Structure 1
């Protein structure tokens, strides 16, 4: 029973992470791309496109942190001890973004808050990439780990920019759509380039590249997911070619799903490769069962609310606002 509960919570946390990365990923990407917009009218569209969803998107990060604290306290303690600086920088960046969004509409000169919003978005994406890279490398020191982590940060920034650009294609108007199509191609190429190099570098970390990937059935599954990711990237480009408004964003989501499934398969059954397994980090069965009852109530409400708000605010932004 304990093993079932442990694996169930690992799966739930992976699902929470996917929801967070896709939902908050696109509005972080929108913020990153706002740094390249020179016209205030374009930035007005950018803020209008996420003004109704950005705060709800970040809720998934809060739930994810709470789930790790309760279900895997040893992992929470170990990661917070080693990753205190990037975690605090992440929180500061998210606070800066929130302040910029709230104060921008009341400011006489908005450009300053626009820059704060863009830098906060870029900083949050970079911090998440650093955290991801440090976890994948097993918190190991050294030049190789540093290079891997830095490339992870670049990959996350490019991936979020891809989500943001494809989101703007379906939500905005006129020249901003044209610029977003261009940004989609650039960010897609950067994301694929970073992913390719990171995959090759992963072979230098035995806990992932040898011990896990060489287990029976793992490598064929990863190869299938890599094929799915390649298909998703091709679909994004095809959707751009036929001037689709919804297709690029759907393709970007599929790309992220394939990538995170591959990450989950590569790490399992560890939380920190080579350092901490699920079994070592897990709480007792009673705690996980009690939390499971709580999340069974909260999870459908959160998903339902997210779906409802996206349904209500579907379509392109209304420029009259």
Structure 2
């Protein structure tokens, strides 16, 4: 009885951590994407509009990463230790990139060094995105060394950068007007194709070199479920394309969010019941049942507050950015 209860609690926390990861990637993903895209614009007026589009929500979006790290440490300490031990450098790069972004947003109004801080904002966003792509690639390959793994991790980093650029560009389509909106539509098309191309490559690579493809995908029912998710992702991609072509403001971002959510559902199904394929299982790495229950009570109070606050922010600051909406024209 104790064993079944512990298993249920461990699986519940695996799902909750996956949900936190989805919230973080979607919300902070478009923040990072806008930062990456800012490197492609030279006018400070354009940078003002791009930063203003996320100025009211970016710090709350990053809160999900803090909660995610704390939940992983408390619920799955062995997984936390293994991931931090093997991925110390990319995680430190991730933290450095986020610090650069936060400092740049605060100091970019400097009269004498404003352009420099704009560069720091873009570079920090790019560094954080690349670091997350490295972590993703390393985890999917089971922290396996070798040239094939390095290629897989490189494509994973490119895919994350492209995916965040897709989220960022479609968010700018939703929030801006004029030449920046039209420029963002073109970037969204390019980012979407690069994202899908990277996803296809990673899918093939996972099948060939990862424990996920060799064991998990061959289990009864798993492959068919992943095929269904793949078809749904293809429909989300088509929806993004059609929405951009039809001139919709909100449709492209909604389609991009759906594409990310479906991709993460496929990732969670592929990893289950492991945290790191071939190295560490979910149940074996979980804390004792009393700890998981105590944390579950705490997250039960915290989750509604965080989700409610995020939704309230997006509701209050909905609509297009008006100040400087003529930028770039």
| Correspondence for 2:62 | 58
- Pair 1:20-2:19 in alignment: no
Given candidates 125, 142, 145, the residue that maps to 1:141 is: 145
| Correspondence for 1:73 | 77
TM-align CA RMSD: 1.0
Structure 2 gap ranges (5+): none
Q: Is the 8 A contact 2:37 2:122 kept in 1?
A: yes
| Correspondence for 2:309 | 305
Instruction: Give the drift of 1:294.
Output: 0.3
| Correspondence for 1:293 | 297
Q: Secondary structure at the match of 2:230?
A: helix
| Correspondence for 1:4 | 8
Given candidates 117, 123, 133, the residue that maps to 1:119 is: 123
Q: How does 1:99-118 map to 2 (within 5 A)?
A: 99-118=103-122
| Correspondence for 1:180 | 184
Could you say if the C-alpha distance between residues 206 and 22 of structure 1 is closer, same or farther in structure 2, counting changes exceeding 3 Å? closer
Q: Is the 8 A contact 2:94 2:132 kept in 1?
A: yes
How many equivalent pairs are there? 321
Given candidates 89, 92, 97, the residue that maps to 1:88 is: 92
Task: Give TM-score, length-normalised by structure 2.
Answer: 0.96
Post-superposition Cα deviations, 1:81-137, rounded to whole Å, max 9, x if no partner, equal 111111111101100000000001233342111110000000000000000100111
Q: Secondary structure at the match of 1:38?
A: coil
Q: Is the 8 A contact 2:142 2:210 kept in 1?
A: no
Structure 2 distance, partners of 1:111, 1:61, is: 28
Instruction: Give the drift of 1:210.
Output: 2.2
- Pair 1:229-2:233 in alignment: yes
Q: Secondary structure at the match of 2:217?
A: coil
Q: Identify which range, 99-108 or 69-78, moves more after superposition.
A: 99-108
